[in-house]
A and B are shown apart, each in its own frame.
Chain A
Amino acid sequence: MDLVLRAIVVFFLIFVITRVVGRRELGKLEPFDLIMLVVIGDLVQQGVTQSDNSITGVFLVIGVICVLTVAMSFVGFRFPRTRPWLGGEPLVLVEDGKVIERNLRRQRLSVEEVAAQARLQQIAHLSEIRWAVLETSGEISFIPKQG
């Protein structure tokens, strides 16, 4: 029972953390982020399983995490009003070539970072952008102006 409770607590802790740290940090993985990810994984494992090295324990923990993941997904699918809470919402960053500073500040993003992401999509100038949207995954999607 203890193992199941630990897995549930850690699952929701990670869920809250990923929702709180913001998409800016989650959308890209730099070397530091990658190392932090491994470190957090190790810390989480110790907190969940402690000294339990059994296959039964592995089944229990993985089972709980799988069930909770599917349950969260189902809740989001079945009850649309929960989606903003569970997965966040898109945010428009640029419209008609104009940067919406307030929304950038909200996500701790700079114009330079948006411009860098635009260049990766072969867009040289922000003025060429019809819409730039920060998606719930943390990625920025660009819709260029027509013509």
Chain B
Amino acid sequence: MSGYPDHLDPERHRDTKGREHQPWIRRAVLTLFTAVAVLGLLDVFGQRSSTGRAATAAATLEVRGPTTVRGGLLFQERITVTARRDISTPRLVLSKGWADGLQINTIEPQPGSESTRDGRLVLSYDDLPAGQRLIVYVDYQVNPTHVGNTDMGLELDERTTPLVVLPRTLTTFP
């Protein structure tokens, strides 16, 4: 059509020929954003707590804390050891992921001693009589640069003898 404003083409800018796909792209991206929000509601990106539990004849080992977190978040892991028989010098042997990429703000109660075993962190506590519980709180903040899956497996030992093993993984989103 003659006299149409410069750089405007009636077919493209009025009849939207060749632009039919544009609303669909917009809808697709909006659907993607909606899906991300729904996944967030479903706790896919953290940080709702869940409980992991393992038990043997000697003790029950329980960890409550999030398995998915995001950079910079504060969170807590609560470790509960319930002795089914007397345990002499209970030791919590923490996999590398319990310290790697996380800032440990506090561990309560503090262990009598700390050491390392094959790259793992070993926290030693006083003897635990049968029926007694040891509850340890570990407060964290996620390092903002930390991303990915880390092994947060946990082992309860009596001195150096493993009693209970609890595998656990922490996923960190950027």
Q: Verify if B110 is at the interface (C-beta below 8 Å from A).
A: no
From residue 64 to 120 of chain A, which have CB atoms closer than 8 A to chain B? Answer: 84, 89-92, 95, 100, 102-103, 106
Q: CB < 8 Å: which of B14, B30, B144 contacts A92?
A: B14
A100–B14 contact, CB under 8 A? yes
Are A90 and B13 in contact (CB-based, < 8 A)?
yes
Chain B residues with Cβ below 8 Å from A19 are: 26
CB distance from B107 to the nearest CB of A (A): 22
Q: 0/1 per residue, A1-41, Cβ < 8 Å to B?
A: 01000100000000010011010000000000000000000
Chain A residues, CB < 8 A from B23: 106
When distances are taken between beta carbons in the complex, the residues of chain B under 8 Å from A137 are: none
- Contact indicator A103/B14 (Cβ below 8 Å): yes
A91→B5 contact, CB < 8 A: no
B145: which of A2, A16, A90, A102 is its contact (CB, 8 Å)? A2
Q: How many residues of B contact A (CB 8 A)?
A: 18
Complex contact A89–B145 (CB within 8 A) = no
Interface residue? B72 (CB, 8 A): yes
The reply on A123 being an interface residue by CB < 8 A is: no
Q: Are B30 and A20 in contact (CB under 8 A)?
A: yes
- Contact indicator B13/A89 (Cβ below 8 Å): yes
Residues in chain B near residue A22, CB distance under 8 A: 26
**Smallest CB-CB separation from B174: which chain A residue?**
A6
In the complex, are the beta carbons of A50 and B12 less than 8 A apart? no
- Interface residues of chain A, those whose CB is within 8 Å of chain B, are 2, 6, 16, 19-20, 22, 50-52, 84, 89-92, 95, 100, 102-103, 106, 131, 133, 143
Could you tell me the dominant secondary structure of chain A's interface residues? mixed
**Which of these, B5, B13, B72, contacts A50 with CB under 8 Å?**
B72
Given contacts A2-B144, A16-B29, A133-B8, contact A106 B16 (CB under 8 A): yes
Residues of A near B71 (CB, < 8 A) are 50
Closest Cβ neighbor of B27 among chain A residues: A20
Sample of 18 A–B contacts (CB below 8 Å): A2-B145, A16-B29, A20-B30, A22-B26, A50-B71, A50-B72, A51-B72, A51-B144, A52-B144, A84-B19, A89-B12, A91-B16, A100-B14, A102-B16, A106-B23, A131-B5, A133-B13, A143-B5
- Name the B residues within 8 Å of A91 (CB-CB): 13, 16
Q: Is the CB of B16 within 8 A of A103?
A: yes
How far is it, in angstroms, between the C-alpha of A52 and the C-alpha of B71 when the chains are bound? 13
Q: B1-40 vs A: 1/0 string, CB under 8 Å? A: 0000100101011101001000100100110010000000
Are A20 and B13 also in contact (CB < 8 A) when A89-B19, A106-B23 are? no
CA distance A91 to B14 in the complex (A): 6
- The residue in chain B whose Cβ has the minimal distance to the Cβ of A22 is B26
- 0/1 interface trace, chain B 65-79, chain A, CB 8 Å (1 if under): 000000110000000
Smallest CB-CB separation from A143: which chain B residue?
B5
C-alpha gap A65/B33 in the complex (Å): 23
CA distance A131 to B4 in the complex (A): 9
Query: Cα distance A6–B173 when bound, in Å?
Result: 13
